[in-house]
Amino acid sequence: MRGNAQFVRHGGREEGGGGKEHDGKLCPASASGRKGPLAFPRPTRAYPPVVARHSQLSPHCTAPLPSSSTMSKQLQFKLVLLGESAVGKSRHAPTLLVLRFVKDQFDDYRESTIGAAFLTQTVTLDDGTTVKFEIWDTAGQERYKSLAPMYYRNANCAVVVYDITQSASLEKARNWIRELQRQADPSIVIALCGNKSDLAARRQVTQEEAQKYAEEEGLMWAETSAKSGEGVSEIFTAIAKKLPTTAPPSSRTAGGRAGTSGGRAGVDLNKQHTEAGANEPCNC
Amino acid sequence: MDEEYDVVVLGTGLTECILSGLLSVEGKKVLHMDRNDYYGGDSASLNLTQLYRQFRPDQSPPAELGRDRDYAVDLVPKFIIASGELTKILVHTDVTRYLEFKQIAGSFVYRDGKISKVPSTEMEAVKSPLMGLFEKRRAKKFFEFLQGWKDEDPATHQGIDLDKDSMRSVYEKFGLEPGTQDFIGHAMALYLDDDYIDKSARPAYDRIVLYTSSMARYGKSPYIYPLYGLGELPQSFARLSAIYGGTYMLDKQIDEIVTDADGKFVGVRSGTETVKAKQVIGDPSYFGAGAAKDGGKVRVMEEGKVIRAICILKHPIPGTDDSDSVQIIIPQNQVNRRNDIYIAMVSSTHNVCAKDVYVAIVSTIVETDKPELEIQPGLQLLGPIYDKFVSVSPIYMPTADGESDNIFITRSYDATSHFETVVEEVQDVWKRVIGKDLVLKKREVEVEQ
């Protein structure tokens, strides 16, 4: 995997949580997407209206779009994070890993990411396919075994994190993987991540042990450091490459809101909302 | 559990989860607990294992019903009315990101032994067997009057005062037949009984407008429904609460509501642990509902009972044009009752059961000591019933408003077909807990630097 994948950072960001209004007030494309030459290509397949609202808003907000004939595929997947619960003031290790991936930041002692429904980050593969991850954090609901079925529902991939300096954390990771195998779709792609590779001197979990377990269970495996960034973008790119590049119409992506699956199309509650917002000026 | 919270919320029903989410967004420190190991309380959607555990603990689900995980059977039959208050809260709080909705395919009404579709288009209205030709003209005038009504323009009032005149007098003015009144009052204004007729016409006007605007919004019926069942609604608001710092504990036995010498709320005891908080909100089951009187304070009282029969069918309901989801209303006059009988049916289109299975819930407010006989007119419309799970649930309401003891108890889910009363309950509890009205204000975009 290493070396082949081109990793393009499109400037990840937090998708707002409840109670926040985005419509027309601030254009995410201008805030983040303009940096790359290919900012936010027009998707080639129908997307969930809600997501479309956030990733694109109205067309006039985005950078000039290449014609669709030269466009490559854009796919979107729901990724869930699991790992040992945060202790004390530290942040949840999977969250730290994702903040490194999405924002290229490491800040262990900050207040938790309040109000973010999920984070998004886009990876571009060699063939030009863009893979957008919609990354769900547990929001602490894993702490007292209170994750809702909704969390696992329609998850396409999962990152399960353990701490290479804590042998007990691998056992906890095994429990999460069992839970995923029980609750999530059987086709889910699971990556097991041994974090804190920067602290290899204090290693309690050998690479051999973790790798053997991953092979037995058919998981992807890598060691990472949220602190130094080592291995982080590589594992997400590897996940992106492993996900089906031809998403069958029946498998809904991104939280299952596509509404493109058979039968009657889904209903977009935000429709009136968006129309009202679309006419407001946007700062780009 | 050694921290002190602003609010402890007991039970993860929809009412409690909306309140928990809104309180966390408001900045309150919330601890939310449930005795069950699943979300939703009385408004949960259960898989087959959970359904059988609840209704037939000594029996396991038959294999022919298919995979356990394909099922999400609602305990309370309700739909979301498209232009209603719940939709506003869903959009405002942005929990719509976690949910996907589909329309309910049709709304039907029972008349003279058979069911007919409530017209959703002008074409359907013209063809509808519900009214004769002349009655249709009268009804058209009535609806044009409602549609044209403007409070500030007396010319649109046609001599009617919505606030003073009764609905009966409005019906009479347009010369509408009793059958049409039944249809309008029950299938559109969604009144459960006929008490509204002699009251001011304004609330009925509001309800008909809500129905017609909801109907117009997506086209087929005024209702929408979340994929994977109604249990998704409490889960999405619980996630909202968690994202704003709320702490969640399922599968937690609640043993005691601890109060001080004045009866004021102090905390909640679970086993040997007691968690302290300033206020507690919870559903009636955490405050002595259904429990034997043990000499303690009586905090909830029974207001009535609802019977609900969850029926598993292997076919769509006859006479509904093979609709994958329907509401059927049997107005009380049609079957000599005081309260309407409702049927709500969903299917695999809504990801709540296996393919070729249909789940219909027949419900009504109990009027006699033989409730199962009361729902017969509804059951008869379903055709062969593969299996049936019947429950009679008391509707509880709190005996006090909570302002003196900081104990705020929510009402049980009522017999109405949608969530408007749930939102009223949320607004009411919010006002008592926070001391001011719930305002769904627009929030500024927060961009993390």
Q: The domain spanning residue B181 has which CATH number? A: 1.10.405.10
For residue B270, what pLDDT is reported? 95
Give B307→chain A minimum CA distance, Å. Answer: 28
Least confident window among A47-56, B8-17, B156-165, B272-281: A47-56
Same domain (yes/no): B258, B214: no
- Let me know if residue B425 belongs to a domain: yes
Question: How confident is the model at residue B125, as a pLDDT?
Answer: 86
Q: Is the pLDDT of residue B353 over 70?
A: yes
Which residues of B are less than 8 Å from A145 in CB distance?
A: 250-251
Whether residue B183 is contained in a domain is answered as: yes
Number of domains in chain B: 2
Q: How is the beta sheet containing B223-226 ordered, strand by strand? A: B80-81, B223-226, B101-103
Residues spanned by the domain of B209: 119-220
Is B315 inside any structural domain? Answer: no
pLDDT: which is higher, A260 or B255: B255
**Is some CB atom of chain B closer than 8 A to the CB atom of A181?**
no
- pLDDT computed for residue B250 by the predictor: 97
Min Cα separation A187/chain B (Å): 15
More confident residue, B217 or A69: B217
Which residue in A89, A99, A150 has the most chain B C-beta atoms within 10 A of its own C-beta, making it the best mutation to test that interface? A150
Q: Are residues B154 and B69 in the same domain?
A: no
| CATH for B292 | 3.50.50.60
> Is residue B57 domain-shared with residue B80, that is, in the same domain?
yes
In a domain, B139, yes or no: yes
At residue A84, the pLDDT reads: 75
Element (H, E) at B16: helix B14-25
> Quick check: helix, strand or coil at residue B304?
strand
Q: What percent of chain B has pLDDT over 70?
A: 97
Same domain, residue pair B255 and B402: yes
**Mean pLDDT for chain B overall:** 93
For B243, the token pair is 């994202």
Residues B419 and B274 in one domain: yes
C-beta of residue B106 within 8 angstroms of C-beta of residue B79: no
CA nearest A52 in B: which residue?
B97
Same domain, B18 and B154: no
User: How much is the average pLDDT of B33-37?
Assistant: 97
Closest CA to B224 of B309, B336, B102, B394: B102
Query: Which residue type sits at B274?
Result: T
Boundary of a domain, candidates B204, B220, B236: B220
Task: Return the pLDDT at A21.
Answer: 35
Question: Which residues between 265 and 284 in chain A have a beta carbon less than 8 angstroms from any beta carbon of chain B?
Answer: 266-267, 269-270, 273
> pLDDT tens-digit profile of B272-316?
999 999 999 999 999 988 776 555 778 999 999 999 999 999 999
The Cα–Cα gap between B432 and B279 comes to 11
**Per-position pLDDT tens, chain A of length 284:** 433 333 334 444 555 544 433 332 222 323 333 222 222 223 323 333 223 223 332 333 333 334 444 567 889 999 999 987 655 555 677 878 888 888 777 776 555 555 567 888 999 998 888 999 999 988 889 888 899 999 999 999 999 999 999 999 999 999 999 999 988 999 999 999 999 999 999 999 999 999 999 999 999 999 999 889 899 999 999 999 999 876 543 334 444 443 333 345 688 887 654 333 333 344 44
Is B44 inside a domain boundary?
yes
Between chains, do B91 and A270 touch, taking CB under 8 Å as contact?
yes
Q: Which of A145-149, B6-10, B11-15, B392-396 is least confident?
A: A145-149
Residues B201, B126 share a domain: yes
**Would you state the pLDDT for residue A48?**
32
Angle formed by the axes of helices B85-93 and B420-434, nearest 10°: 60
Chain B interface disruption, residue of A13, A20, A105, most B CBs within 10 A: A20
Q: Is residue B154 part of a domain?
A: yes
Q: For strand A74-83 and strand B73-74, is the pairing parallel, antiparallel, or unpaired?
A: unpaired
- Which residue, B203, B220, B237, sits at the end of a domain? B220
Provide the pLDDT for residue B32. 98
Tell me the mean pLDDT in the region B128-151: 94
pTM of the model: 0.85
Could you tell me the CA-to-CA distances from A74 to A30, A43, A233 in Å, in that order? Answer: 19, 6, 18
The C-alpha of B310 sits at a distance from chain A's nearest C-alpha, in angstroms, of 22
Residues B291 and B420 in one domain: yes
Residue B441: per-residue pLDDT? 67
Tell me what pLDDT residue B313 has: 98
Same domain, B290 and B423: yes
Interface contact A19-B251, CB threshold 8 A: no
On whether both B290 and B401 belong to a single domain, the answer is: yes
How many cross-chain Cβ pairs, A to B, lie less than 8 Å apart?
A: 133
Fold of A74-254: Rossmann fold (3.40.50)
Residue B117's nearest CA partner among B349, B328, B341, B281 is B328
- Report the chain B residue with the minimal C-alpha distance to residue A117: B243
pLDDT digits (tens, 9 = 90+) for B53-111: 999 999 999 999 999 989 999 999 999 999 999 999 999 999 998 999 999 999 999 99
Give A179's contacts in chain B (Cβ within 8 Å).
none
Q: Does B16 touch chain A (CB under 8 A)?
A: no
Say if the Cβ atoms of B242 and A140 lie within 8 Å. Answer: yes
Annotate B222-287 with DSSP letters as a single string: SEEEETT-TTHHHHHHHHHHHHTT-EEE-S----EEEE-TTS-EEEEEETTEEEEEEEEEE-GGGT
Q: What is the pLDDT of residue A15?
A: 58
- CB burial readout B197-234, b (16+ within 10 A) else e: beeebeebbebbbbbbebbebbebbbbbbbbbbbbbbb
ipTM for the complex shown: 0.87
In a domain, B322, yes or no: no
Average pLDDT over residues B241-249: 94
Closest CB to A17: pick one of B102, B235, B244.
B244
Q: What are phi and psi of B345, to 5 degrees?
A: -130, 135
pLDDT of A100 reads 83
B155 shares a domain with B42: no
Q: Based on the fold, state whether residues B288 and B404 are members of the same structural domain.
A: yes
Q: In angstroms, what CA-CA distances link B259 with A14, A200, B407?
A: 42, 52, 10
Q: Indicate the residue type of B336.
A: N
Domain boundary among B187, B220, B253: B220
Residues in chain B: 449
Q: Is residue B28 part of a domain?
A: yes
What is the structure's pLDDT at B263?
92
pLDDT score of B1 more than 70 = no
